[in-house]
Structure 1
Amino acid sequence: MESVKVVTPHKLSVMVRSRTDKALIIDSRTFCEFNTSHILNSINVWSSKIRKKRLQQDSISVHDYLQQACHVSGLHDGLDIIVYDQNAPSLSAVPQDSFLHVLLNKLGRAFPSVYLLAGALFFCFLLSAMSCNASLQLA
């Protein structure tokens, strides 16, 4: 996960605002959490043991995984990939045996710009709700 960088909610807002067509926000929380609230235009990559194992064993590439599981097309190297999981406030907090760790590793090898959103999601939503020019919105 050496290639994965941490991004703050404020930095994410700036990135998304300046590069709307070049940012993919991946929400790795559960389907229920995602449906309760999520950042507008983010995609949900819910975890399962089978998906985790397929990624670990390289039975499926991370590109194919995102295209099949999340119906994402048009993936290219110029994308900024931003991953969010409320249980991972920092890279050091991501357990090595978790789906998120596997996902971040695979994304970091496949894309040049991969970020983990640090801090609480509530703070991110609060920041975006308070800013009249915010690019991040609840859906």
Structure 2
Amino acid sequence: MVPRSRGVPQKGRAGSSPVPGEKWTRATLEWAKGLKKLVQPKERILKVATLNVGTMTGKRHEIVRMMEEKNIEVLCVLETRWAGSKALEVSKGYKLFYNGTVNTRNGVGIILCPQLKDKVVSVNRKTDRTMSVTIDI
């Protein structure tokens, strides 16, 4: 088969790979890149961070202020030292899901920004050191 001289895919072959023995030209590659940009949905970048707080007692408002300044949407906090497995509104619409033991050692939590707190699908609290939150973006 003879390679096309213009480098534009034939009718009915949009997005297909070249015929065996046929080479992509620069024009074809540029056309394919443009098509790829049109088809792909816009990516959403989620800003996630971790913080060892030592204890959450008295630090809620300070942590939320830091999240706002740094534009952090999900913050995983370590050593909360709170007992129980609960979820509570921290401040300014931010929500904390936490898990800890009775002896108030260790403990973990996940703080979500107001835009994500209503999109929580499930919370999996495994131990006082591990937990996960599933979010539907």
TM-score by length of 2: 0.26
Structure having the larger proportion of residues in strand: 2
Structure having the larger proportion of residues in helix: 1
Q: Taking CA–CA contacts closer than 8 Å with sequence separation of 6 or more, which of the two structures ends up with the larger relative contact order?
A: 1
TM-score by length of 1: 0.26
